[in-house]
Amino acid sequence: MKRTWTIIGVGDVPGSFKWYQSLLGLPQTAPAHDDFGQVLDSDGTVLLCLHAWGVHEHPPLTSPNRAQPGNGLLLFFRVDDFDTALPRARALVDRFDEEPHVNPSTGTAEFSLRDPDGYYVTISALAAA
């Protein structure tokens, strides 16, 4: 088995950790460290890693000032609880970047919003609308 661990640079690991857990309907836990955390699905699968900017000298994570956070990245989550994910997401942001709609390419309902660091996040239903 192979898995991708997507790691994004964030300004506040504990705050972003809580934000993603709320968005995805996951139990609230604390990250393992103040500078790194893994958002886990209920089966232990890593959904997203959050890494503090400028820690551990990883070249692409040195500073958000070197490039805009999220440039060239779309965080796309397929969820089996789309109808309950929608109000959770509305509680986290003032507005969506894309209101709920059916994506003509996939036939699934989706919406998009920005996380606290400005990353573009899309939530898509697992099943076609």
**4-47, pLDDT tens digit by residue?**
899 999 999 999 999 999 999 999 999 999 999 999 999 999 99
Q: Report in angstroms the alpha-carbon separations of 48 from 2, 92, 105, 107, 125.
A: 15, 18, 25, 25, 18
Residue 2, in any domain of the structure: no
- In this predicted model, what pLDDT tens digit does every residue of 45-85 receive, in sequence order? 999 999 998 787 776 777 777 777 677 789 999 999 999 99
- Show the tokens assigned to 26: 């996951």
> Structural domain tally of the chain?
1
Residue 1, in any domain of the structure: no
Residue 39, in any domain of the structure: yes
Determine the Cα–Cα distance for residues 96 and 37; give it in Å rounded to an integer.
25
Q: How confident is the model at residue 58, as a pLDDT?
A: 72
CATH of the domain at 18: 3.10.180.10
Range of the domain at 80: 7-128
Determine the Cα–Cα distance for residues 75 and 123; give it in Å rounded to an integer.
9
pTM comes to 0.90
Q: Mean of the pLDDT values across residues 103-126? A: 95
Q: How confident is the model at residue 129, as a pLDDT?
A: 66
**CB atoms < 10 A from the CB of 122, how many?**
16
Determine the Cα–Cα distance for residues 94 and 12; give it in Å rounded to an integer.
19
- Show the tokens assigned to 5: 């661990």
